[in-house]
A = this chain, B = another copy of it.
Amino acid sequence: MEETQIHIATDSFLFCKDPESSDLGRRIVEYGIEMIHELGYEAFTFKKLGSRINSNESSIYRYFESKHSFLVYLVNWYWSWIEHKLVFATANIESEEEKLEKAIQLLTEEVKEDNNFTFINEVTLNKIIIAESSKAYHTKEVEKENKKGFYKTYTRVVDRVTEFVLGVNPNFKYPHMLISTIIEGAHHQRYFSKHLPALTDCEEGKNNIVEFYQKLVTDTIKR
Protein backbone atom coordinates (compact mmCIF):
# COMPACT_ATOMS: atom_id res chain seq x y z
CA MET A 1 0.00 0.00 0.00
CA GLU A 2 1.06 3.49 -0.76
CA GLU A 3 0.36 4.97 2.64
CA THR A 4 2.96 5.70 5.21
CA GLN A 5 1.76 5.92 8.79
CA ILE A 6 -1.52 7.70 8.57
CA HIS A 7 -3.67 9.17 11.21
CA ILE A 8 -7.39 9.42 10.68
CA ALA A 9 -8.85 12.42 12.41
CA THR A 10 -12.05 11.90 14.33
CA ASP A 11 -13.99 14.73 15.85
CA SER A 12 -14.02 14.94 19.60
CA PHE A 13 -17.81 15.06 19.86
CA LEU A 14 -17.84 11.45 18.67
CA PHE A 15 -16.47 10.08 21.92
CA CYS A 16 -16.17 10.84 25.64
CA LYS A 17 -12.49 10.06 25.76
CA ASP A 18 -10.41 9.66 22.61
CA PRO A 19 -9.93 5.91 22.08
CA GLU A 20 -6.68 6.57 20.26
CA SER A 21 -5.22 8.07 23.41
CA SER A 22 -4.78 4.84 25.34
CA ASP A 23 -4.15 1.18 24.95
CA LEU A 24 -7.57 0.33 26.36
CA GLY A 25 -9.21 2.72 23.93
CA ARG A 26 -7.47 1.12 20.99
CA ARG A 27 -8.44 -2.35 22.15
CA ILE A 28 -12.06 -1.26 22.47
CA VAL A 29 -12.09 -0.14 18.85
CA GLU A 30 -10.05 -3.04 17.50
CA TYR A 31 -12.06 -5.79 19.18
CA GLY A 32 -15.30 -3.86 18.97
CA ILE A 33 -15.03 -4.02 15.18
CA GLU A 34 -14.27 -7.70 15.36
CA MET A 35 -17.24 -8.40 17.61
CA ILE A 36 -19.79 -6.33 15.72
CA HIS A 37 -18.76 -8.21 12.61
CA GLU A 38 -19.08 -11.58 14.35
CA LEU A 39 -22.27 -11.02 16.32
CA GLY A 40 -24.02 -8.29 14.36
CA TYR A 41 -24.88 -4.92 15.84
CA GLU A 42 -27.96 -6.08 17.76
CA ALA A 43 -26.26 -8.91 19.65
CA PHE A 44 -23.10 -6.92 20.31
CA THR A 45 -22.88 -5.44 23.82
CA PHE A 46 -20.28 -3.50 25.78
CA LYS A 47 -20.44 -6.21 28.43
CA LYS A 48 -19.37 -8.89 25.96
CA LEU A 49 -16.68 -6.60 24.57
CA GLY A 50 -15.43 -5.88 28.07
CA SER A 51 -14.97 -9.53 28.85
CA ARG A 52 -13.31 -10.18 25.47
CA ILE A 53 -10.66 -7.55 26.13
CA ASN A 54 -10.33 -8.39 29.84
CA SER A 55 -11.80 -5.11 30.82
CA ASN A 56 -15.04 -3.82 32.15
CA GLU A 57 -18.33 -2.67 30.73
CA SER A 58 -18.19 0.55 32.71
CA SER A 59 -14.68 1.31 31.48
CA ILE A 60 -15.93 1.24 27.89
CA TYR A 61 -18.58 3.77 28.81
CA ARG A 62 -15.79 6.22 29.65
CA TYR A 63 -14.85 6.15 25.96
CA PHE A 64 -18.23 5.93 24.27
CA GLU A 65 -21.51 7.28 25.51
CA SER A 66 -23.50 4.40 24.02
CA LYS A 67 -23.42 1.50 21.64
CA HIS A 68 -25.02 3.76 19.05
CA SER A 69 -22.31 6.39 19.34
CA PHE A 70 -19.69 3.68 18.99
CA LEU A 71 -21.24 2.76 15.64
CA VAL A 72 -21.34 6.42 14.63
CA TYR A 73 -17.67 6.72 15.57
CA LEU A 74 -16.79 3.75 13.36
CA VAL A 75 -18.79 5.13 10.45
CA ASN A 76 -16.99 8.45 10.71
CA TRP A 77 -13.61 6.79 10.97
CA TYR A 78 -14.42 4.80 7.84
CA TRP A 79 -15.45 7.83 5.79
CA SER A 80 -12.43 9.82 6.95
CA TRP A 81 -10.27 6.96 5.80
CA ILE A 82 -12.08 6.80 2.44
CA GLU A 83 -11.70 10.55 2.10
CA HIS A 84 -7.99 10.23 2.66
CA LYS A 85 -7.72 7.52 0.03
CA LEU A 86 -9.85 9.59 -2.32
CA VAL A 87 -7.67 12.66 -2.03
CA PHE A 88 -4.60 10.51 -2.53
CA ALA A 89 -5.99 8.61 -5.52
CA THR A 90 -7.09 11.70 -7.40
CA ALA A 91 -4.14 13.99 -6.65
CA ASN A 92 -2.16 15.15 -9.66
CA ILE A 93 -4.67 13.81 -12.14
CA GLU A 94 -5.63 16.29 -14.82
CA SER A 95 -8.58 14.68 -16.47
CA GLU A 96 -11.90 15.17 -14.73
CA GLU A 97 -13.19 11.95 -16.25
CA GLU A 98 -10.31 10.01 -14.83
CA LYS A 99 -10.70 11.55 -11.37
CA LEU A 100 -14.35 10.58 -11.35
CA GLU A 101 -13.55 7.09 -12.49
CA LYS A 102 -11.03 6.63 -9.70
CA ALA A 103 -13.55 7.92 -7.20
CA ILE A 104 -16.28 5.55 -8.34
CA GLN A 105 -13.83 2.68 -8.22
CA LEU A 106 -12.91 3.53 -4.65
CA LEU A 107 -16.53 3.92 -3.54
CA THR A 108 -17.84 0.73 -5.09
CA GLU A 109 -15.00 -1.77 -4.75
CA GLU A 110 -14.69 -4.19 -1.89
CA VAL A 111 -11.97 -3.34 0.60
CA LYS A 112 -9.58 -6.23 0.42
CA GLU A 113 -6.38 -5.30 2.16
CA ASP A 114 -5.81 -4.24 5.68
CA ASN A 115 -2.78 -2.01 5.66
CA ASN A 116 -2.09 -2.89 9.27
CA PHE A 117 -0.67 0.50 10.08
CA THR A 118 -3.43 1.13 12.54
CA PHE A 119 -5.33 -0.84 15.14
CA ILE A 120 -8.28 -0.83 12.78
CA ASN A 121 -8.90 -3.66 10.37
CA GLU A 122 -10.32 -1.86 7.35
CA VAL A 123 -11.50 -5.04 5.65
CA THR A 124 -13.71 -5.93 8.60
CA LEU A 125 -14.77 -2.32 9.07
CA ASN A 126 -15.89 -2.19 5.44
CA LYS A 127 -18.09 -5.23 6.06
CA ILE A 128 -19.63 -3.50 9.07
CA ILE A 129 -20.30 -0.41 6.99
CA ILE A 130 -22.05 -2.55 4.38
CA ALA A 131 -24.15 -4.52 6.84
CA GLU A 132 -24.76 -2.11 9.71
CA SER A 133 -24.09 1.52 8.83
CA SER A 134 -27.64 2.33 7.79
CA LYS A 135 -28.64 1.68 11.41
CA ALA A 136 -26.53 4.68 12.38
CA TYR A 137 -28.88 7.12 10.65
CA HIS A 138 -32.17 5.23 10.57
CA THR A 139 -33.16 6.46 13.99
CA LYS A 140 -35.63 8.95 15.39
CA GLU A 141 -32.72 11.17 16.43
CA VAL A 142 -31.16 11.63 12.96
CA GLU A 143 -31.89 15.29 12.60
CA LYS A 144 -30.63 16.18 16.04
CA GLU A 145 -27.49 14.14 15.49
CA ASN A 146 -27.00 15.53 12.02
CA LYS A 147 -26.94 19.02 13.53
CA LYS A 148 -24.22 17.87 15.89
CA GLY A 149 -22.17 16.77 12.86
CA PHE A 150 -22.55 13.01 13.25
CA TYR A 151 -22.78 12.49 9.50
CA LYS A 152 -20.56 15.23 8.17
CA THR A 153 -17.68 12.98 7.15
CA TYR A 154 -19.98 11.06 4.85
CA THR A 155 -21.40 14.28 3.48
CA ARG A 156 -17.91 15.57 2.83
CA VAL A 157 -17.02 12.53 0.75
CA VAL A 158 -20.22 12.93 -1.27
CA ASP A 159 -19.42 16.60 -1.79
CA ARG A 160 -15.92 15.90 -3.05
CA VAL A 161 -17.12 13.42 -5.63
CA THR A 162 -19.96 15.73 -6.58
CA GLU A 163 -17.27 18.19 -7.63
CA PHE A 164 -15.78 15.64 -10.00
CA VAL A 165 -19.20 15.01 -11.51
CA LEU A 166 -19.62 18.71 -12.12
CA GLY A 167 -16.11 18.77 -13.55
CA VAL A 168 -17.25 16.34 -16.23
CA ASN A 169 -20.66 17.88 -16.78
CA PRO A 170 -21.24 21.27 -15.11
CA ASN A 171 -24.91 21.18 -16.08
CA PHE A 172 -25.76 17.91 -14.44
CA LYS A 173 -28.65 18.62 -12.11
CA TYR A 174 -28.45 15.83 -9.56
CA PRO A 175 -24.84 15.11 -8.62
CA HIS A 176 -25.44 14.49 -4.90
CA MET A 177 -28.28 12.15 -5.70
CA LEU A 178 -26.14 10.26 -8.17
CA ILE A 179 -23.23 9.81 -5.81
CA SER A 180 -25.22 8.84 -2.75
CA THR A 181 -27.21 6.43 -4.93
CA ILE A 182 -23.97 4.82 -6.05
CA ILE A 183 -22.44 4.55 -2.61
CA GLU A 184 -25.53 3.08 -0.99
CA GLY A 185 -26.25 1.02 -4.07
CA ALA A 186 -22.83 -0.59 -4.15
CA HIS A 187 -23.09 -1.46 -0.47
CA HIS A 188 -26.52 -2.99 -1.02
CA GLN A 189 -25.37 -4.98 -4.00
CA ARG A 190 -22.47 -6.41 -2.06
CA TYR A 191 -24.77 -7.36 0.75
CA PHE A 192 -27.33 -8.85 -1.62
CA SER A 193 -24.75 -10.80 -3.58
CA LYS A 194 -23.75 -12.54 -0.40
CA HIS A 195 -27.09 -12.94 1.34
CA LEU A 196 -29.96 -12.30 -1.08
CA PRO A 197 -28.58 -13.19 -4.51
CA ALA A 198 -31.95 -13.00 -6.26
CA LEU A 199 -31.65 -9.22 -6.09
CA THR A 200 -28.41 -8.96 -8.04
CA ASP A 201 -26.67 -10.29 -11.13
CA CYS A 202 -23.27 -10.84 -9.55
CA GLU A 203 -21.03 -13.64 -10.58
CA GLU A 204 -18.72 -15.01 -7.92
CA GLY A 205 -15.36 -13.37 -7.99
CA LYS A 206 -16.14 -11.01 -10.84
CA ASN A 207 -16.08 -7.30 -10.41
CA ASN A 208 -19.56 -6.71 -11.75
CA ILE A 209 -20.54 -4.18 -9.15
CA VAL A 210 -17.76 -1.74 -9.99
CA GLU A 211 -18.33 -2.24 -13.71
CA PHE A 212 -22.06 -1.66 -13.38
CA TYR A 213 -21.72 1.59 -11.44
CA GLN A 214 -18.92 2.93 -13.65
CA LYS A 215 -21.14 2.51 -16.67
CA LEU A 216 -24.15 3.89 -14.86
CA VAL A 217 -22.30 7.07 -13.96
CA THR A 218 -20.86 7.59 -17.42
CA ASP A 219 -24.18 7.03 -19.16
CA THR A 220 -26.13 9.20 -16.75
CA ILE A 221 -24.03 12.33 -16.64
CA LYS A 222 -22.97 12.51 -20.26
CA ARG A 223 -25.40 13.63 -22.84
User: Does A195 belong to the interface (CB within 8 Å)?
Assistant: yes
User: Does A163 belong to the interface (CB within 8 Å)?
Assistant: no
Which residues on the B side are within 8 Å of A191 (C-beta)?
138
User: Does A180 belong to the interface (CB within 8 Å)?
Assistant: yes
Query: Nearest Cβ in chain B — how far from A54, in angstroms?
Result: 25
Cα–Cα, bound, A142→B131 (Å): 11
Q: Name the interface residues of A157-181: CB closer than 8 Å to any CB of B.
A: 158-159, 173-178, 180-181
- Asked whether, in the complex, the Cβ of A146 is within 8 Å of the Cβ of B195, the reply is yes
Copy tally for this chain in the complex stands at 2
- Asked whether, in the complex, the Cβ of B188 is within 8 Å of the Cβ of A180, the reply is yes
Query: Nearest Cβ in chain B — how far from A151, in angstroms?
Result: 6
Q: Name the interface residues of A190-223: CB closer than 8 Å to any CB of B.
A: 191-192, 195-196, 198-202, 208-209, 212, 215-216, 219-220, 223
Query: Nearest Cβ in chain B — how far from A114, in angstroms?
Result: 23
Contact count band on A: 35 or more
User: Assuming the A-B contacts A155-B199, A181-B188, are A138 and B131 also in contact, with contact meaning beta carbons closer than 8 angstroms in the complex?
Assistant: yes
User: Assuming the A-B contacts A140-B39, A216-B216, A220-B215, are A189 and B181 also in contact, with contact meaning beta carbons closer than 8 angstroms in the complex?
Assistant: yes
- Asked whether, in the complex, the Cβ of A134 is within 8 Å of the Cβ of B134, the reply is yes
**In the complex, which residue of chain B has the Cβ closest to the Cβ of A188?**
B184
Query: Nearest Cβ in chain B — how far from A127, in angstroms?
Result: 12
Cα–Cα, bound, A131→B39 (Å): 23
Q: Please, what's the 1-or-0 string for A39-64, where 1 marks a CB less than 8 Å from any CB in chain B?
A: 11011000000000000000000000
Query: Nearest Cβ in chain B — how far from A139, in angstroms?
Result: 6
